[in-house]
Structure 1
Amino acid sequence: MTRRYVILGNGIAGQTCAEDLRKADADASIVMVAAERHPLYNRVALPRYLRGQVRREKVFMRTAEQYAAQNLEIHFETWATDIDLREKVVQTNRGHELKYDAILIATGGRPKPPPWPGSTDVTACLGFQTLDDTDAIIEKADASQRVLVMGGSFIGYELAEGVSFRHKAGVTWIMRGPWFLRYVLDEEGGQLCRQMGEEQGVQFITSDEVQKFSRNNGRYLAETVNGEKVEFDLLTYGVGLDYYTEPVRTGVELKNGIVTDSKLRTSAPDAYAAGDIAVFYDLMVERHNQMGTWDNAEAHGKVAARNMAGADEDFFDVPTYTTTMFGSTLAVMGVTPDVQPGLESVRTFSLEEKFYRKLFFKDDRLVGAIMIGPPKGRKKLIEIMRSRQRIERPKQELLDPANLKDS
């Protein structure tokens, strides 16, 4: 009997799962449900596209013909409206009724709406999640004198860095915290980020937030709690995601996303979750965790595919995130205090030489790291994290790249 798989989402988690299932079973029915109108594209490349360093066509990773060649049935601009986990059937906005033997929910999320008073009156207001978002930001930013970026997260950073790199429009970056990534970096790390950003022309407003938006001579005016006033033409923001859990009304545990065990299984039979939406049991820190990185989602897709096909495999990997940092490099690996408070840490930095390294430990095991500057020794640090070995030597020694020769 032909086995039936339904994959909700065609990001890298869903795409990887579908293709690995096809490799394992040439005869299976595999149906993908994709909310966007595009085939798979590289979300990691969107900041480079925003900066003008990558052409739009280079962002795409699959074509419609490639889905057909693998006998993957895909429905674009389609999303689940109801998932009956007991009867194993999915209803979509386009009237499909999709029955399954196993399902992967990899629907990710959408940007939270701007929380600031009056922001709904700013018609030029854009989040940064999809290719269509990026197209719109490029079009409007290129016609703007000043772009206002709000939010002290990775998304806020990628917007500020990308727009300021792309063209000469002014960029003002407002964040409630005292510095970028306040739960991961300390004051000196935040100071280095600010120093490098200001050298690229970014204006920083920290420990503040907008209390009022208004129109002013055909432009917009933002007024902050601390009395700052910023005239701007485009508002972009990154304040987190709302995860697309609405179709799952009963049958699984929800906690910001969909809770799974270490095998990416939900509490419903034959139902798995992967990617940003999965609140998975992370064996590295022995607690539930939620990661929004590309490589984590891809690795989720591989493990989910094997388990949906009958395996019994735990997920264990070290998530990584690497991007440019105002002309340098920002690299994050493993688990950091924003998702696992109370980690022990050691650090080293130089504002003059523009480098910063901070390592995070739990129970004498290396579990995470953040670097600004050349990421020397990165591979060795990841190797140590994967080994889960206890660190017997002084932890400070791991900060020196000379002690971390990449194999």
Structure 2
Amino acid sequence: MATHVIVGGGLAGAKAAETLRAEGFDGRVVLIAAEAELPYERPPLSKGYLLGSAEREKARVHDAGWYEEHDVELRAGVRATGLDAAGHTVALDTGEELGYDRLLLATGSSARRLTLPGADLDGVRYLRTLPDSDRLLADLAGGGRRVVVVGGGWIGLEVGAAARGYGNEVTVVEPQPTPLHAALGAEMGEVFAGLHREHGVDVRTGTGVRELRGAGGRVTSVLVDGDAEVPADLVVVGIGAVPNTELAEAAGLEVDRGIVTDAALRTSAPDVFAAGDVASSFHPLYGRHVRVEHWANALNGGPAAARSMLGQAVSYDRVPYFFTDQYDLGMEYSGLGGPDDAVVCRGDVGAREFIAFWLSEGRVVAGMNVNVWDVTDPIQALIRSGAQVPVERLTDPAVPLEDLAG
């Protein structure tokens, strides 16, 4: 009987296990999950659950009974410590050595840590796991606290919005010219800066953090550029994530800012696959390797890897997609734009009801719909088409999106 092992108990790993069974694999499926939790999705950690609008259990990929019902051996709270790719074995921190016929590495990412003086003080928080969200919810829910968010990326802004929703005082410190500068560029970054300022957030851009200061072992303030000291009862750090490639690197797999795979999600080692945050996969649409950290990549990449493990022909070419909800702004983003790409819009940017398009050499490489719904499919079709569309057609709301792809 063949044994397929999945290392990583997040969304990608759990959906891969589900797909193996759905596709008729009747061998042994072992899911190694380092966290002592049932596999869960991460968006609720900074969205619904943190906002108090969704129950904790809603984050689960499957309920507790699903794994037994589908004969999936879930090893929660167990960590893989070594991989012998030649010998087809994985070492576990229980002392066991587990043999496999196919292996999926879905080890995800970890929050990037601050290395500044004072970073180890009590009251400094990160948000990557469900227990992290539990603790942050307890910190924020009472309101009345001074919260400093280090980093104006997606996690930082979503946490800032949640903190304001509970009545906390919030300061966001971001070294780039705008929040989300690397993801969206200056013009769209300013949309989010304005949103947060309107809701009472002190957004400090072009400003770095130099030191965290405390008393009695607990953080009390954040020293920023210019020797300004920002009072803080709580500091939330959102400065990005680092792919968990240690297992792959130690085993000699090719790693380059992620575990390198081909379009079928196969790594450089025979019978070893990778998916989700940790995978830097060749993307046929872009003609290069891409590592995507967002929810949809785990949701779709896990099943694609499972089918590839079963020998099916797979070419994983999904258009990257993510979403955010902050205050009264809901947004979906498709594609891969850059801060230097030209941006044009249709709709009312000031009212935050519009679609933005990122253009490279006249072609749409990304689209973002803000408080405009049911347009993801035509936006993604336009990106896939590679069509050169005149700006006046892109920006004209009278031209149906479906007509833009040619």
TM-score by length of 2: 0.92
Greater alpha carbon shift after TM alignment, 110-119 vs 365-374: 365-374
Q: Which residue of 2 aligns with 1:10?
A: 9
Greater alpha carbon shift after TM alignment, 293-302 vs 68-77: 293-302
Aligned residues of 1:82 and 1:247 also touching (Cα < 8 A): yes
Q: Shift of residue 44 of structure 1?
A: 1.8
Letter in 2 for 1:4: T
Is the partner of 1:403 in helix, strand or coil?
coil
Q: Which residue of 1 aligns with 2:77?
A: 77
Aligned residues of 1:398 and 1:404 also touching (Cα < 8 A): no
Q: Which residue of 1 aligns with 2:130?
A: 131
Cα distance change of structure 1 residues 67 and 399 upon mapping to structure 2, 3 Å threshold? farther
Greater alpha carbon shift after TM alignment, 206-215 vs 365-374: 365-374
Deviations 1:229-260 (A, max 9, x none): 21111111111222222222133111121010
Q: Shift of residue 400 of structure 1?
A: 3.9
Distance 2:326 2:105 in 1: 33
Aligned residues of 1:322 and 1:329 also touching (Cα < 8 A): yes
Instruction: Select 2:393's aligned residue among 390, 397, 400.
Output: 397
Cα distance change of structure 1 residues 279 and 48 upon mapping to structure 2, 3 Å threshold? same
Q: Which residue of 1 aligns with 2:280?
A: 279
Q: How does 1:157-236 map to 2 (within 5 A)?
A: 157-165=157-165, 167-215=166-214, 220-236=220-236
Q: How does 1:81-96 map to 2 (within 5 A)?
A: 81-96=81-96
Cα distance change of structure 1 residues 51 and 309 upon mapping to structure 2, 3 Å threshold? same
Distance 2:387 2:26 in 1: 48
Greater alpha carbon shift after TM alignment, 137-146 vs 25-34: 137-146
Count of residues paired in the alignment: 399
Q: Shift of residue 68 of structure 1?
A: 0.3
Q: Which residue of 1 aligns with 2:305?
A: 304
Q: Shift of residue 198 of structure 1?
A: 1.6
Q: Shift of residue 38 of structure 1?
A: 1.3
**Mapped pair 1:110 → 2:110:** yes
Q: Which residue of 2 aligns with 1:55?
A: 55
Q: Which residue of 2 aligns with 1:293?
A: 294
Q: Shift of residue 350 of structure 1?
A: 4.7
Q: Which residue of 2 aligns with 1:313?
A: 314
Letter in 2 for 1:403: V
Distance 2:382 2:102 in 1: 35
Q: Shift of residue 142 of structure 1?
A: 3.1
Distance 2:132 2:220 in 1: 20
Q: Percent identity?
A: 29
Deviations 1:35-54 (A, max 9, x none): 11111223122211111111
Distance 2:40 2:69 in 1: 18
Q: Shift of residue 396 of structure 1?
A: 4.2
Cα distance change of structure 1 residues 219 and 271 upon mapping to structure 2, 3 Å threshold? closer
State the superposition RMSD in angstroms: 2.2
Instruction: Select 2:344's aligned residue among 339, 343, 346.
Output: 346
**Mapped pair 1:371 → 2:348:** no
Aligned residues of 2:354 and 2:372 also touching (Cα < 8 A): no
Q: Which residue of 2 aligns with 1:237?
A: 237
TM-score by length of 1: 0.91
Q: Shift of residue 82 of structure 1?
A: 0.3
Deviations 1:279-318 (A, max 9, x none): 0011121111100111111211121111111112111111
Q: Shift of residue 390 of structure 1?
A: 3.4
Greater alpha carbon shift after TM alignment, 98-107 vs 214-223: 214-223
Q: Shift of residue 84 of structure 1?
A: 0.5
Aligned residues of 1:48 and 1:162 also touching (Cα < 8 A): no
Distance 1:390 1:406 in 2: 14
Where in structure 2 are there 5+ consecutive unaligned residues?
A: none
Q: Which residue of 1 aligns with 2:381?
A: 383
Where in structure 1 are there 5+ consecutive unaligned residues?
A: none
Q: Shift of residue 117 of structure 1?
A: 2.7
Distance 1:354 1:365 in 2: 24
Q: Which residue of 2 aligns with 1:330?
A: 331
Distance 2:49 2:402 in 1: 30
Aligned residues of 2:16 and 2:306 also touching (Cα < 8 A): yes
Cα distance change of structure 1 residues 374 and 131 upon mapping to structure 2, 3 Å threshold? same
Greater alpha carbon shift after TM alignment, 151-160 vs 396-405: 396-405
Distance 2:298 2:263 in 1: 14
Distance 1:317 1:29 in 2: 29
Aligned residues of 1:346 and 1:396 also touching (Cα < 8 A): no
Distance 2:402 2:329 in 1: 20
Q: Shift of residue 60 of structure 1?
A: 2.3
